[in-house]
Structure 1
Amino acid sequence: MMARLFLLLLCLAGLGTAQAQVRAFDDIVASGVLKVAVYEDFPPYSFRADGQARGVDVELAQKLADSQGLALELLWVAPGEKLEDDLRNFVWKGHYLRPDVLADVMLRVPYDREFSYKRNELGELVNELVVMFGPYQRERWQVAHDTRRLAEVPSVAVFGYHPIGVELESVPSFYMSSVFGGRMSRNTRHFASPPLAFAAMREGQVDAVMAMRGEIDWLLHEAGDPQLKAADNAYPEMGRQQWDIGMAVHESNRQLAYALEGGLVELIGSGELAKIYARYGLRYEVPELYEGEVQAQTRGD
């Protein structure tokens, strides 16, 4: 009994001492493999279908690995409570359940100066050990509606009279519950995910859904129902309505960031990234950082 207890304590102690190692660029090249972290079960960005990895981020990860002459190894990760938790767990320190596993690069990270330089209550930089770079997608909020019950959405004020589905504890949830003095809160229905809200719209439980544009485009594409449409309207009093999504590496691995950004610029300029998005029914909008380069390539400069 005592021997088994000793072995258990020894194993637990070992869990605490395992240390994730950030791979230098030369070591990554020598290994022949690029390790890329993507979120699990997050269509249309990264998910599995019939046992195969699919999604915009999965295909982008493969193209980035190809640009460096490397094989791709996907690290499927679950989101934490906050993005800085994910960066700590999968980019610079390691998760306590997977302490020896780190990605070389993580996708779907906001490219945002304010977030990059965020400080904690002690005034310390929260993301000091992370470099965020390479914005590859511009994201927005989007409403989809069933034209059989809601012909158009000239303003979000229509949801004072029509029920709308949103993801629980999301920006659309907070927005629809509070904007215009909360007049739309009684018609705001909450669901565990955008796909469940969308399914509820198809079943007639709600007349519209609000989520990220990429998710809405994908759900409309998969539904293939011409009566379901994306609305074209703004969101008064919301604040930021669009943002760029990029990548993150450990701050010691800027050489990898430069190399991957070179591959990304080529994908954007050639139109290949837009084709990847189109395969999933998504509209592609070039992030502001690369608009000038794309225009130059279009002119043949």
Structure 2
Amino acid sequence: MWSNSLHRCALSAAGLLWVWLLALPVQARYYDDVIASGYIRIGLYRDFPPYSWLQDGEPRGIDVEIGKRIAEGLGVRFEPHWITPDENLDDDLRNNVWKGHYLDKNEDQPLAPKQLADVMMRVPYDREYAFKRDSTGEIVNEQVVMFGAYQRERWQVAYNSERIDSVSTVAVFQYHPIGVEIDSLPDFYLTSAFQGRMRDKTRHYANVREAFAAMQRGEVDAVMGMRAEIDWLLDEAKDPRFRRGENGFPMMGRQTWDLGMAIKHSHRQLGYAVEEVVDGLIRGGGMGQLYAAQGLGYELPGLYQDVVQ
């Protein structure tokens, strides 16, 4: 009986400790905190080339390079904050920008407050999404400010010119197999557009890299993904057989979108400072140079297309 009582007491103490750990605050930082600390945490998606990934233990990718320029512009050190995607972007913003995930912890200091990204990269710069409301009428992401558009993204096809003469229309994929990332917008589009006529020729892969590898093996004749992904894969392959398609995507809806950053709503001063650095990169041509150095094409976001040549 005494032993059981001790066991119950130990379990109770462990439970209280767990509740206390869950209640620890996340560490959200203001502009002055960032400058005083000497570093800035840039939120980057994990294993997501060409945007951000680890290679031989070192951060790589275009978002990494932009993050380094932001840090340099603020006079602080760049520090990556790696993001594992959750079910949707709302979850990613909550877990990494303003609240944190209850399972997150500081590896070096388990009892210290959990850390958030000071700035999160690759967030849609979209007013409709920013002010999206839930079923009760509340703004879903009211704790977040989305700002600093730095790139326009679009969908892109790459194809094997030895199998397909040209891709002037997606209708060719009624007859030629094309690889896509499973459950992506290209997947839904190619399996449903034109009364599903391309469905039987659509092949599914875990990501665009695997789809491209399948094209290299001859399993598919084309691949569809985001333009930067396609640009990077073509640059890496350096195979003259593989070319970019020039077609549009009828009935797809939005085919281009702008990408920016996000911060916690109470940290606008930090956002203004970061935005000033990014704005200088865009207007001075440095942003395009960063993309070119990564083997990527660059398209100005909508805010700059009429003012930057």
TM-score bucket of the superposed structures, by smaller chain? over 0.9
Measured in 2, the distance between the counterparts of 1:257 and 1:292 equals 24
1:83 Cα offset (Å): 0.3
Q: Among 196, 221, 235, which residue is 2:249 paired with? A: 235
Measured in 2, the distance between the counterparts of 1:220 and 1:105 equals 30
Match of 1:299 in 2: none
AA aligned to 1:24 is: Y
Matches within 5 A, 1:193-208: 193-208=207-222
Match of 1:265 in 2: 279
Q: Among 124, 129, 132, which residue is 2:138 paired with? A: 124
Match of 1:111 in 2: 125
| Percent identity over paired residues | 53
Match of 2:51 in 1: 45
Matches within 5 A, 1:19-98: 19-98=25-104
Q: Among 301, 306, 309, which residue is 1:287 paired with? A: 301
SS of the equivalent of 2:133 reads coil
Q: Among 191, 194, 208, which residue is 1:180 paired with? A: 194
- Tell me, which stretches of 5 or more residues in structure 2 are unaligned? 1-6, 106-113
1:72 Cα offset (Å): 1.1
1:270 Cα offset (Å): 1.9
1:293 Cα offset (Å): 4.1
After TM superposition, the score normalised by the length of structure 1 is 0.95
Tell me if structure 1 keeps the 8 A contact 2:28–2:115. Answer: no
Is residue 255 from structure 1 mapped to residue 269 from structure 2 by the alignment? yes
Q: Among 159, 181, 200, which residue is 1:167 paired with? A: 181
Measured in 1, the distance between the counterparts of 2:245 and 2:308 equals 28
1:4 Cα offset (Å): 3.6
Measured in 1, the distance between the counterparts of 2:286 and 2:50 equals 17
AA aligned to 2:235 is: H
Is residue 217 from structure 1 mapped to residue 223 from structure 2 by the alignment? no
SS of the equivalent of 1:65 reads helix
Measured in 1, the distance between the counterparts of 2:287 and 2:14 equals 50
Tell me if structure 2 keeps the 8 A contact 1:265–1:290. Answer: no
1:144 Cα offset (Å): 0.4
Measured in 2, the distance between the counterparts of 1:179 and 1:146 equals 22
Cα RMSD after superposing both structures: 1.1
Measured in 1, the distance between the counterparts of 2:231 and 2:217 equals 19
Q: Which of the pair has more CA radius of gyration?
A: 2
Residue-by-residue CA offset, 1:249-276 (whole Å, 9 max, x unaligned): 0111111111111101111122211111
Residue-by-residue CA offset, 1:90-116 (whole Å, 9 max, x unaligned): 111011111612111100000001000
Tell me if structure 2 keeps the 8 A contact 1:110–1:246. Answer: yes
Measured in 1, the distance between the counterparts of 2:73 and 2:85 equals 27
Residue-by-residue CA offset, 1:160-199 (whole Å, 9 max, x unaligned): 0000000000000000000001010010011111000001
Tell me if structure 1 keeps the 8 A contact 2:174–2:197. Answer: yes
Measured in 2, the distance between the counterparts of 1:11 and 1:221 equals 52
Match of 2:159 in 1: 145
SS of the equivalent of 2:308 reads helix
AA aligned to 1:5 is: L
1:3 Cα offset (Å): 4.7
Tell me if structure 1 keeps the 8 A contact 2:212–2:233. Answer: yes
Residue-by-residue CA offset, 1:208-262 (whole Å, 9 max, x unaligned): 0000000000010111101101100100000100000000001111111111111
After TM superposition, the score normalised by the length of structure 2 is 0.93
AA aligned to 1:56 is: I
1:292 Cα offset (Å): 4.0
Measured in 2, the distance between the counterparts of 1:292 and 1:55 equals 28
SS of the equivalent of 1:294 reads coil
Match of 2:109 in 1: none
